[in-house]
Amino acid sequence: LSSLPFVSFRLFSYNYKMSEEEEVTCPKEKLAEICQKSKACIELLAKFEACEERVQSRPGTTETCSEELFDLSQCVDACVSL
């Protein structure tokens, strides 16, 4: 053990006091909101919303919007990862 070099890590701490009115938001959620309305995803969002309206207006339907949701999610995830 004595032959191992001594390594020191300095940890930086940031003191930030939030006021009671401030809310902590996840950056990914904010980016996802922005990405949903991006040029790349806006058409998929419109298709998903149209599907949701159609499904909600038809009681007892077996239609789901899983395909539209999947396509929109893929687009948003790709945008957020950039």
DSSP 34-75: HHHTSTTTHHHHHHHHHHHHHHHHSTT-----HHHHHHHHHH
State residue 36's pLDDT score.
Answer: 94
State residue 15's pLDDT score.
Answer: 53
Q: Per-residue confidence of the chain (82 residues) as pLDDT tens digits?
A: 444 444 444 444 455 566 667 777 788 889 999 999 999 999 999 999 999 999 999 999 999 999 999 999 999 999 999 8
Q: Give residue for tokens 């939030």.
A: 18
Total-model pTM: 0.67
State residue 82's pLDDT score.
Answer: 85
